[in-house]
Amino acid sequence: MSAGLPEIDSALLQRRIDELSLITEAESPAVTRVLFSDADLRGRDYVAGLGRSAGLALRVDAVGNMFARWVGSAPDAPVVATGSHIDAIPNAGKFDGVVGVLGGISAIEALQEAGFKPMRSIELIVFTAEEPTRFGIGCLGSRMLAGAIPLEKASVLRDPEGKSLDELRGRAGLKEALDSVALPKNFYSAFVELHIEQGPLLEQQHIPIGIVQAIAGPSAYRVRITGEGGHAGAVLMPGRRDASLAASELALAVEKAAHESGSTDTVATTGKWEVFPNAINSVPCGVMLEIDLRDTCLETRDRALVLMRSASEGIAARRGVEIIWEEINADPPADGDPKTMTIAEDVSLQLGLATRRMVSRAYHDSLFMARVCPTTMIFIPCRKGYSHRPEEYSDPAHITAGARVLAGTLARLSHQPL
Ligand code: HGY
Ligand code: MN
Ligand code: MN
């Protein structure tokens, strides 16, 4: 490959990001693209079209992970992979995940343009359901690739309307058995994901490239609270067993536990809240909460959980309600691979780009890819750290720089000794 690093077609990459952002179920500039929704299926078609025009060999697995491969001169050697996701939670932005998918395609096209010839094949992955919106669990596609979710748990997943994974993937024409998804050993030699930081650090410190050395471990819990309903006018206050007041106390206890875990890396959010019967003149008899608890350290995350659970028992006893906890997922944190991080740093240096190592507090498919091969992430700044909201924004110059670092890193990894 020429001494210099290939140029990314910045205008084309930006245009594609804008085009993909218009494939949404939300009012622009918001983006909503939930797994296997029409928008998600149209978004997949859009990206598959780009992969085909780049001459990549396409395949889709049983859960909808999409693979676009640039076959190298050593086609049977473990493959170098990159990629991210295009699904988006309701009312999100247009860069989360998309930068890694479209930036990955641009990086491959730039290498092709520069006459680079891969030795190890280079494969772009578009992961199914990085977001938990449809089935309540994040990273479903990369989890299954890594064999990190029991098949019996994956196959019974249902969305809030009761639709099953099989029914929905069937809509996308995916009929193969789910046990075909898990990757064989040494399938990939390395994985590098380009992603917006979803935090304010890089922008604040005017650093264009972040190299992710650790990804916080996510856990999620569904909590069902059952009290006693009744007429809002007729049921007097003494003796009420109002489920939504118990839920309110529990949500505050969740916040308190995160503060008291002993680490500033503990974060907890009661992000989903459904009240039943949800009528102004009816005392709530049931509430379903979903709680998101994360930490870069398992020990302090578990400490926060113990605090939450004991607070929950106290609330149940005091208010005479039943509180049942169900774990949705509890995943360990992941570490970046030192060698892969150093390659990304060297390439950044070659491009005159300052870097810093950092922790990702958001989870990503890299959290699971790190279980199957040496993995790191390349972060780029996003305005005020905004993400999961329409104001999400990343400057084209930063996106282009990130894609250039990705291109150089993939080229180096593809020529790693077999
Ligand atoms: O929630 C997360 O960390 C990711 O953006 N799905
Ligand atoms: Mn996200
Ligand atoms: Mn993401």
pLDDT digits (tens, 9 = 90+) for 65-103: 999 999 999 999 999 999 999 999 999 999 999 999 999
34 alpha-carbon distance from chain centroid: 13
Atom of ligand 1 nearest to the CA of 96: 5
SS (H, E, C) 269-335: EEEEEEEECCCCCEECCEEEEEEEEEECCHHHHHHHHHHHHHHHHHHHHHHCCEEEEEEEEECCCEE
Atom of ligand 1 nearest to the CA of 97: 5
217-330: CATH topology: Alpha-Beta Plaits (3.30.70)
CB of 293 closer than 8 Å to CB of 220: yes
Contacts of 248 (CB under 8 A, 6+ apart): none
pLDDT digits (tens, 9 = 90+) for 177-207: 999 999 999 999 999 999 999 999 999 999 9
User: Ligand 1 center to residue 83 CA distance, Å?
Assistant: 15
Q: Is 233 exposed, middle or buried (0-12, 13-18, 19+ CB in 10 A)?
A: exposed
What pLDDT band is residue 287 in, cutting at 50, 70 and 90? very high
**Quick one: which of 72, 25, 307, 78 has its CA closest to 185?**
78
Could you report how far apart the first and last alpha carbons of the chain are, in Å? 18
CB of 301 closer than 8 Å to CB of 261: yes
Contacts of 330 (CB under 8 A, 6+ apart): 217, 219, 220
Dist CA 92 CA 309 (whole Å): 31
Handedness of CA 85, 86, 89, 92 (dihedral sign): positive
The arithmetic mean of pLDDT across residues 160-182, rounded, is 95
pLDDT at 1: 42
Is residue 140 pLDDT above 50, yes or no? yes
CB burial readout 266-305, b (16+ within 10 A) else e: bbbebebeebbeeeeebbbbbbbbbbbbbbbbeebbebbb
Q: Do domains 2-216+333-414 and 217-330 have the same CATH topology?
A: no
**Percent of the chain with pLDDT strictly greater than 70:** 99
Q: 238 preceded by cis ω (within 30°)?
A: no
pLDDT at 383: 98
Is 199's C-beta closer than 6 angstroms to any atom of ligand 1?
Answer: no
CATH superfamily of 2-216+333-414: Zn peptidases (3.40.630.10)
The arithmetic mean of pLDDT across residues 132-161, rounded, is 95
The phi and psi torsions of 26 (rounded to 5 degrees) equal -120, 165
The arithmetic mean of pLDDT across residues 390-408, rounded, is 98
Domain extents in the chain: 2-216+333-414, 217-330
Is residue 2 pLDDT above 70, yes or no? no
170 alpha-carbon distance from chain centroid: 23
Contacts of 287 (CB under 8 A, 6+ apart): 224, 225, 243, 244, 246, 247, 273, 274, 275, 276
User: Ligand 2 center to residue 88 CA distance, Å?
Assistant: 7
Minimal-distance CA residue to ligand 1 atom 5 = 362
pLDDT at 296: 93
pLDDT at 236: 97
Dist CA 62 CA 138 (whole Å): 17
The arithmetic mean of pLDDT across residues 145-172, rounded, is 94
Is 130's C-beta closer than 6 angstroms to any atom of ligand 1?
Answer: yes
> Residue 287 to residues 3, 216, 247, 326: CA-CA distances in angstroms?
61, 29, 7, 14
> Residue 308 to residues 166, 254, 255, 325, 361: CA-CA distances in angstroms?
35, 6, 9, 11, 21
Is residue 3 pLDDT above 60, yes or no? no
The phi and psi torsions of 146 (rounded to 5 degrees) equal -85, 0
> Residue 270 to residues 70, 258, 361: CA-CA distances in angstroms?
43, 12, 17
Is 131's C-beta closer than 6 angstroms to any atom of ligand 1?
Answer: yes
What pLDDT band is residue 214 in, cutting at 50, 70 and 90? very high
DSSP single-letter state for residue 37 = S
What pLDDT band is residue 31 in, cutting at 50, 70 and 90? very high
Is 362's C-beta closer than 6 angstroms to any atom of ligand 1?
Answer: yes
Contacts of 187 (CB under 8 A, 6+ apart): 78, 79, 372, 373
pLDDT at 43: 98
What pLDDT band is residue 5 in, cutting at 50, 70 and 90? confident
Give, for ligand 1, the residue of 135, 269, 388, 392 to mutate: max count of ligand atoms closer than 8 Å to Cβ.
388
pLDDT at 313: 98
The arithmetic mean of pLDDT across residues 167-183, rounded, is 95
What pLDDT band is residue 268 in, cutting at 50, 70 and 90? very high
State the pTM of this model.
0.93
pLDDT at 418: 86
Q: H-type helices in 30-120, by residue range?
A: 38-53, 98-113
Is residue 262 pLDDT above 70, yes or no? yes
